[in-house]
Amino acid sequence: MDTATHVVMGFAIGGLATLDPVVAETTVNTQSVLVAAIIGSQIPDIDTFLKLKNNAVYIRNHRGITHSLPAVLLWSILVAVFVHLIFPGSNLAHLWIWSLVAVSLHVFVDIFNAYGTQALRPLSSKWVALGMINTFDPYIFGIHVIGIVIWMLGGNPGNTFLVIYVIMALYYLLRYIMQQMVKSAVIRTVPDADRIIIASTIHFNQWRIAVTTKDHFYVGRAYRRSVTIFDKFKRIPVPDTEIFRAAKKDKNVSAFLSFSPVYRWELKKYDDFTEVRFIDLRYRSNGHYPFVAIVKLTDDLDIITSYTGWVYSEEKLRKKLRVATD
């Protein structure tokens, strides 16, 4: 989820924690748990700072080890101890319990986005991305804001957020049912599909679709049960040639391939270099595929420049490649 949603979820966990008799017992416990819940709801995304280094490091590691099973436990302990130092009279055990709830909820809700997480590490390095909930869901964000407003107006925060989270559970169930209905519609449209990726958008009834068959890729959108295919590409395996082996060694291309589950490739030869491009098919927007990896190589297979990330025009991509060269 986006940062704003994680923040309001932190407030929600802090409010929900008032149902805990130990937390509600003293003001210091209530305040300390609220602070811990807000911090805990944010801390797994500390790896966002990796973007300051470069996109390759960010793409390879964001929502990776910081969202893993050991990290959930570690973050909760660190948050609880840190907040206990600020509020020395607080109950450390219950601080840890509610810190663990906040951190766990952060990782849990991220699983339902199209981006996903490596939440199963170290058991598995597979990206878990269910695609049921958009990164920013206005309904989820809105219901949390309503809960916070009720709390500020004097409502009981524990009961308020308990009701809200029951509604949230039903909402997630509804989104799952809707996604399965879209999947059935996709199968009717592309009966020989061997892989279907369905990702929500910010619009309640609209879904992004990427489908693979034995011979083709299909990219489209679904509105309710109606599926529209926009693009169809021949599915050609990445050639096992020297130029592609060299391209895969590039840090940007390697990061892209470690993350993207469905992509196509292009190769263009110019007078003094060869350009290899990998294009993720999940994020089609206005006829453009913004998430790419591109590398330019000399005839001797030395890397001239490369880039991976989200760009929404060819002009901007060329500019980023020039910057990378400089």
Q: Is the dihedral of CA 112, 14, 138, 284 positive or negative?
A: negative
pLDDT at 323: 58
pLDDT at 51: 73
**Across-strand partners of 269?**
274
In this structure, the answer to whether residues 116 and 41 fall within a common structural domain is yes
In this structure, the answer to whether residues 29 and 13 fall within a common structural domain is yes
The 8-class DSSP code of residue 322 comes to H
pLDDT at 312: 73
Q: Which residue segment(s) compose the domain that 261 sits in?
A: 242-325
In this structure, the answer to whether residues 93 and 46 fall within a common structural domain is yes
How far apart are alpha carbons 144 and 146 in whole angstroms? 5
In this structure, the answer to whether residues 42 and 182 fall within a common structural domain is no
In this structure, the answer to whether residues 80 and 144 fall within a common structural domain is yes
How far apart are alpha carbons 33 and 91 in whole angstroms? 9
Amino acid at 156: N
In this structure, the answer to whether residues 228 and 186 fall within a common structural domain is yes
In this structure, the answer to whether residues 117 and 215 fall within a common structural domain is no
pLDDT at 314: 73
pLDDT at 293: 94
| Total domains, the chain | 3
**Across-strand partners of 218?**
211, 232
How far apart are alpha carbons 159 and 18 in whole angstroms? 9
Which pTM was predicted? 0.89
In this structure, the answer to whether residues 255 and 275 fall within a common structural domain is yes
- Residue that the structure tokens 């039903």 belong to: 170
pLDDT at 315: 76
In this structure, the answer to whether residues 113 and 212 fall within a common structural domain is no
209, 222 contact by CB (below 8 A): yes
In this structure, the answer to whether residues 217 and 183 fall within a common structural domain is yes
- Read off the CATH number of the domain in which 223 is found: 3.10.450
Q: Does the bond joining 88 to the residue before it have cis omega, within 30 degrees of 0?
A: no
Mean pLDDT, 10 residues at a time, the chain of 326 residues: 94 97 96 97 88 79 87 96 96 97 96 89 88 95 98 97 97 97 96 95 95 96 94 95 94 91 94 93 90 93 91 75 60
Domain limit, last residue, from 213, 234, 255: 234
* Of 240, 108, 285, 305, the residue nearest 293 (C-alpha): 305
pLDDT at 324: 59
**Across-strand partners of 293?**
278, 308
Which helix (H) or strand (E) segment holds residue 232: the answer is strand 226-234
SS3 44: helix
HSE (CB half, 13 Å, CA atoms) of 200? 28
Question: In the numeric block, which tokens belong to residue 319?
Answer: 């500019």
In this structure, the answer to whether residues 86 and 114 fall within a common structural domain is yes
pLDDT digits (tens, 9 = 90+) for 61-104: 778 889 999 999 999 999 999 999 999 999 999 999 999 999 99
**Long-range CB contacts (< 8 A, 24+ apart) of 118-122?**
118/63, 118/64, 118/65, 118/67, 118/68, 119/67, 119/68, 119/69, 120/68, 120/69, 121/64, 121/65, 121/68, 121/69, 121/70, 122/68, 122/69, 122/70
How far apart are alpha carbons 21 and 263 in whole angstroms? 52
In this structure, the answer to whether residues 162 and 218 fall within a common structural domain is no
Which helix (H) or strand (E) segment holds residue 144: the answer is helix 138-152
